Amino acid sequence: MSQESPPFQMSTPASPADPTRPAPAPEEFAKIYQEHGRQVYYVALRMLSDPTQAEDATHDVFIKVYRNLDRFRGESCLRTWLYRITMNHCQNLLKSWQHRNIHSNAEDALWETQVGPENSPLEVLETQELGGRIQKTLDTLPLEYRKLLLLVADQELSYEKIAQITEQSVDAVRGKLHRARKAFAQHFKTTS
């Protein structure tokens, strides 16, 4: 995992869409994408349970980031801001008509991994099965619990940062995480 990014600074004069707003330089934006793209995709994948939708959501999030980077106030770290955008975008997708009524056939690819020379086929199968059980369990949890568990899974996020992302107090995050972990453990026992 990468270290915290310092507050982002604009270095180019203006965006073509709005000449009064600064736009990020392509190399600056590429650096943001390289540092945070994988984590944004992971959060989207766990929330949406579909690799194709997660990939689309990741692209949508970074388009939003590009368009609104000048609005980033630096009150939190960049990663916290990205996670908040990702969570809100995925939550909106889950509420949308398309998500409830259009189903992807990408489920089979969700936990596919390439067999490397160091991985035996049995290890790959076990990893796929465990990943499937984890996703199935996450899907049974309320969205609030799922969001908190996904954020705490990133070892570098403190309760304070999770509280910022979810707009809750630190004590509320602790309490809900305790309940989310208990619910996850109960549901995980019943999945196969």
* pLDDT tens digits, 40-78: 999 999 888 889 999 999 999 999 998 888 888 888 888
79: its two tokens? 């990663």
For residue 3, the model assigns a pLDDT of 45
Q: Cβ distance 148 to 166 under 8 Å?
A: yes
Q: What is the pLDDT of residues 70-108, one digit of tens each?
A: 888 888 888 889 999 999 999 999 888 665 655 554 444
In 3D space, the residue among 164, 153, 157 whose CA is nearest the CA of residue 43 turns out to be 153
Higher-pLDDT residue of 35, 18: 35
Alpha carbons 157 and 166: distance in angstroms, whole number: 12
8-104: CATH class: mainly alpha
Alpha carbons 154 and 108: distance in angstroms, whole number: 25
Q: Burial of 104 by CB count in 10 Å (0-12 exposed, 13-18 middle, 19+ buried)?
A: middle
Mean pLDDT of the chain: 79
Sorted by where each begins, the domain ranges of the chain are 8-104, 115-192
In 3D space, the residue among 5, 63, 56, 45 whose CA is nearest the CA of residue 153 turns out to be 45
- The residue-averaged pLDDT of 17-22 equals 52
* 14 has pLDDT over 70: no
Higher-pLDDT residue of 116, 35: 35
Q: Burial of 90 by CB count in 10 Å (0-12 exposed, 13-18 middle, 19+ buried)?
A: buried
For residue 113, the model assigns a pLDDT of 46
> Are 8-104 and 115-192 in the same CATH fold?
no
Q: Cβ distance 134 to 126 under 8 Å?
A: no
> 115-192: what fold?
Arc Repressor Mutant, subunit A (1.10.10)
191: its two tokens? 């999945």
Q: Whose structure tokens read 């799922």?
A: 146
